[in-house]
């Protein structure tokens, strides 16, 4: 099937919401660590608690002032995963008479966590909230869904949850195929996607060397998390590992090396120009303006847009979301100083850049998920937090951050510098 590059028909169906009084007071993220690496045995809950505690410490907000925790994780990675949002909130210091909500909008879960917290703060339901996203890709289970009542001889079915989740059973294609569909629609070639990936790695390396990612990351050590009246829990790193303090997938990756890799899905995408599989978490503290003025806020959450697109080109989702957002607020892409979009695949991210009309020097300026990884639910919060920090460095006013989501969705969040 041939796909158009005109997404105007999908702009009209997008949902756009503005927020009157929602500010990001502080944030933090864990290092993003390669699959089965130093964080491979740490549950998403404990990764989320670490990020949330660090975000609160940086914000200066007393945890007791939190009115809610909005937390997301796409996969269940521990036997207490049902309690994930509640445990993140309580072990971050939220009072036990406050509530927690778990959400899942696939790869845009982090953006949704920010949107829901911003909505509650702006409506006056509470003065502050935690938005958290955490993902242990390493601890995705090998699962069986049909054996509760037993099984017949030879009919045992255990499957790799992580592998199976990469195939959209309704759309009838894998996530990689959706990127190949966009590559065909936009005429994106293999040399172009390899050049995109090489640029992502080079920019991420430069960000590490300049200390930009050090500003985001809260290093992880062995830790115990305690809360009054609760059984303590914590993080235990592998033997011999004392601290994890940087993203592990970032490395010198020249285009000549990328060009030697074979196709992963029969087209332009390879393992080298697709997002890295990593474990990690991110969190931000969202408050009303009165509380924000008592600290040093990073910026204001202006609005959010969510759009639907065909499942077979799910990666283009941020385009109609972004266009709807700009149209609703009377802005143009030239008004946006920084655009941060998740790099699920190089062809997908380049299609989004072209679809929005963003100049290369304002798009993923410190690299993206191809270089440092995509821990699903954490990505949206990481994108917004990183965009705000870069906006401050550049002295700009507006930044947009977004991602696509499997099944055919996209989100975009607009933030304004404090």
Predicted pLDDT at 4: 85
CA 199 to each of CA 20, 52, 226, 250, 386: distance values in angstroms, whole numbers, following the listed order: 37, 31, 42, 12, 18
Spell out the per-residue pLDDT of the chain, length 418, in tens.
Answer: 788 899 999 999 999 999 999 999 999 999 999 999 999 999 999 999 999 999 999 999 999 999 999 999 999 999 999 999 999 999 999 999 999 999 999 999 999 999 999 999 999 999 999 999 999 999 999 999 999 999 889 899 999 999 999 999 999 999 999 999 999 999 999 999 999 999 999 999 999 999 999 999 999 999 999 999 999 999 999 999 999 999 999 999 999 999 999 999 999 999 999 999 999 999 999 999 999 999 999 999 999 999 999 999 999 999 999 999 999 999 999 999 999 999 999 999 999 999 999 999 999 999 999 999 999 999 999 999 999 999 999 999 999 999 999 999 999 999 999 9
Helix, strand, coil: what percent of the chain each, to 5?
35, 25, 40
Instruction: Give residue for tokens 């009157």.
Output: 20
Cα end-to-end span (Å), the chain: 46
Phi, psi of 272 (to 5 degrees): -85, -25
Predicted pLDDT at 36: 98
Tell me the three state secondary structure of residue 143: strand
Q: Which residues are catalytic?
A: 107, 404
Beta strands per DSSP E along 7-56: 15-18, 23-29, 33-34
- Which phi-psi region, left, alpha or beta, contains residue 10 (left: φ > 0; alpha: ψ -120 to 50)? alpha
Predicted pLDDT at 2: 80
Q: Which residues lie below 8 Å from residue 98, measured CB to CB, with a gap of 6+?
A: 66, 67, 68, 69, 89, 126
Q: Output the six-digit token pair for 57.
A: 């410490």
Instruction: Give residue for tokens 């030239």.
Output: 334
- CA atoms lying within 13 Å on the CB side of residue 343: 33
Predicted pLDDT at 221: 98
Predicted pLDDT at 3: 86
């Amino acid at each position: 099937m041939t796909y158009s590059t005109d997404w105007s028909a999908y702009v009209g169906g997008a949902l756009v919401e503005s927020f009157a009084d929602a500010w990001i007071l502080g944030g933090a993220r864990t290092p993003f660590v390669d699959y089965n690496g130093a964080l491979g045995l740490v549950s998403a809950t404990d990764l989320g608690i670490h990020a949330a505690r660090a975000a609160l410490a940086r914000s200066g907000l007393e945890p007791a002032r939190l009115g809610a925790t909005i937390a997301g994780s796409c996969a269940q990675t521990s036997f207490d995963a049902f309690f994930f949002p509640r445990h993140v909130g309580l072990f971050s210091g939220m009072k036990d008479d406050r509530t927690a909500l778990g959400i899942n909008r696939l790869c845009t879960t982090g953006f949704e966590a920010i949107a829901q917290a911003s909505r509650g703060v702006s409506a006056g339901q509470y003065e502050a909230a935690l938005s958290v996203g955490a993902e242990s890709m390493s601890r995705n289970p090998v699962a069986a869904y049909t054996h509760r009542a037993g099984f017949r001889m030879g009919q045992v079915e255990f499957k790799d949850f992580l592998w199976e989740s990469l195939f959209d059973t309704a759309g009838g294609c894998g996530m990689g195929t959706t990127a190949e569909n966009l590559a065909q629609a936009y005429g994106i070639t293999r040399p172009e996607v390899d050049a995109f990936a090489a640029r992502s790695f080079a920019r991420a390396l430069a960000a590490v060397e300049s200390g930009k990612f050090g500003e985001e990351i809260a290093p992880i050590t062995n830790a115990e998390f305690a809360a009054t009246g609760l059984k303590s829990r914590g993080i235990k790193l592998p033997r011999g590992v004392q601290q994890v303090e940087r993203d592990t997938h970032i490395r010198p990756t020249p285009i000549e090396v990328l060009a030697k890799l074979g196709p992963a899905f029969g087209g332009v995408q390879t393992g080298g120009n697709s997002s890295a599989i990593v474990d990690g978490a991110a969190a931000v503290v969202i408050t009303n303006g009165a509380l924000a003025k008592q600290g040093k806020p990073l910026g204001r959450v202006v609005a959010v847009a969510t759009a639907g697109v065909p499942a077979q080109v799910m990666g283009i989702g941020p385009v109609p979301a972004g266009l709807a957002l700009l149209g609703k607020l009377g802005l143009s892409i030239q008004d946006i100083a920084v655009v941060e979009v998740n790099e699920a695949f190089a062809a997908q991210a380049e299609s989004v850049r072209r679809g929005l009309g963003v100049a290369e020097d304002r798009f993923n300026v410190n690299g993206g998920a191809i270089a440092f990884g995509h821990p699903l639910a954490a990505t949206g919060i990481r994108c917004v937090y990183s965009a705000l920090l870069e906006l401050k460095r550049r002295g700009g006013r507006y930044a947009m951050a977004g991602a696509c989501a499997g099944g055919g969705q996209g989100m975009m969040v607009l933030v304004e510098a404090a």
